[in-house]
A and B are shown apart, each in its own frame.
Chain A
Amino acid sequence: MNSGLVMYEEEFRLIAGICDRLTRDANAKVVFLIDKNGQLIAASGQAQNLDTTSLASLTAGNVAAMGGLAKLIGEKEFPNQFHEGERESLHMSIVAARVVLVVIFDAKSSLGLVRLRVKKAGEELARVFDGLAKKQAMPGAQSPFAEITDDDIDNLFSE
C-alpha cells in the first residue's frame, strides 16, 4: 500500500508562508493548497466563510476528472485550469504531481497576474514537497502512530 502524506510543523510553516505571500502578491481573495486526494493542507486569505472541507474534496474530484479526460486525449494531465465566474474566478494548478494550488480572485486581480505568481509559488512549493518526500523516505521515519494501542482505537468507538 502506498504511504500517506505526513506534514510536519517546519514544512507547514514554509507552506503557509508561501500561500500567504501568494495571496498578497496575486491580490487574491483566498489561496488553498489541497492534496490530490482531497485533503486540505493550507488555506490563506479570506477563508473563514468558506466550507474548506467541501472545497478540498470537490477540487480533488475536479482535478481527478480532468486528469482522466487528459489521458483520454493523449495528454499526461492538465496542469493548470481556470474557471471564470461573474464576480469570482478560480485558478487551479498541480504542484509536484501531488498537490493542487487553488487561487480564488475577483476583479482586483487578473488571470495574467495570478498565473505569473502561481508559477513562482508553485516552484517554491515543489521544493518543500520534495524535501518532505525525502524526509518521509528516510530510514527511521516510521509511522507516527506506531505507538497507539488497540485500546486507543477501541476507546474511540466506545460510546
Chain B
Amino acid sequence: MSFINYSSREINCKIVYYGPGLCGKTTNLQYVYAKTNPSAKGKMISLATETERTLFFDFLPLSLGEIRGFKTRFHLYTVPGQVFYDASRKLILKGVDGVVFVADSQFERMEANVESLENLRVNLAEQGYDLGRIPYVVQYNKRDLPNAVGMDELQRTLNPRKVPEWAAVAPTGLGVFDTLKSVAKLVLTELKKGG
C-alpha cells in the first residue's frame, strides 16, 4: 500500500520478492544493496537463522530519484521461502504494491516453483489482492546452472499470462536490476492510475 506524503514530498512503495526456498531472493537484495550508491540506500536488515536462511524477512530501503518534486522510495522485502514459514509470508504481503516472483531454474526445483507460485496467489487473495491485477514480474534465476530448465518451459509453466520476465544469475547481478526496474515501473504506473 503506497504512502504519499505531501508534507515531506515523498512517495513510498513496498515491493516483495517471493519464491521457493533457496531460489535467490535474499541474493537479489544483497546485489542491489552492494551496487547501489550509499546516498540512495538505507541499511539492509536480514532477520535470518544462524544458518543464514531467512527467518522473517530481509528489508532494503531504496531511493530512486524524484518525480515531479516527489522523492520516490521503494521498500524491498523478501519472504522466507521455506514451506513451513507460511504465516510469516502472509504478514509480509500486507500492504504490498508490487511482487517479484523469483523462480529457481533448476529442474529439481520446478515443483517447488509451482507450489510457491500457487501459495503466492492464495496468500495475496487472502489480503484482497489479485495476482492477475497487481504489479507483478517474474525472474528466472540460476540460469548459469547446468540443470537449468529451458526458458520456454519455465515461461509455459510459471508465466502463462506473460508478465514482464527476466533471466537472472543473482550473484553476478545478471537480470537483478532489470527485474527491479520493471516492477518499480509497474508500481508507479499503477499509482498514476490511482490504484
Contacts and interface: CB of A to CB of B under 8 A. Distances in A.
Nearest to A152: B67
Interface string A119-139: 000000000000000000000
Interface of B: 1-8, 11-12, 14, 42-43, 45, 47, 56-57, 59, 61, 64-68, 70, 72, 75, 87-88, 90-92, 94-95, 97, 128-129, 133-134, 181, 184-185, 188-195
B73 to A, nearest CB: 9
Given A12-B7, A37-B95, A153 B185 contact: yes
B87 A68 contact: yes
Interface of A: 1-9, 12-13, 35-39, 41, 51, 53-54, 57-58, 61, 64-65, 67-68, 142-148, 150, 152-157
B192 A143 contact: yes
A156 B72 contact: yes
Given A145-B11, A157-B181, A157-B185, A152 B91 contact: no
A153 B1 contact: no
A62 B163 CA distance: 33
B192 A1 contact: no
A51 B3 contact: no
B39 to A, nearest CB: 14
**Which 8 residue pairs across A and B have the least CB separation, nearest first?**
A143-B194, A37-B95, A4-B2, A12-B7, A64-B91, A39-B3, A4-B1, A7-B5
A5 B1 contact: yes
Contact of B3 (A9, A35, A65): A35
Contacts of B92: 61, 64
A57 B47 contact: no
Contacts of B128: 1-2
A12 B6 contact: yes
A68 B195 CA distance: 27
B194 A54 contact: no
Q: Binding site of A, secondary structure by majority: helix, strand, loop or mixed? A: mixed
B4 A144 contact: yes
Given A1-B190, A35-B3, A157-B184, 8 more contacts: A7-B5, A12-B8, A57-B45, A61-B59, A145-B11, A145-B191, A146-B194, A154-B185
Nearest to B90: A68
B89 to A, nearest CB: 11
B7 A7 contact: yes
B155 to A, nearest CB: 24
A27 to B, nearest CB: 27
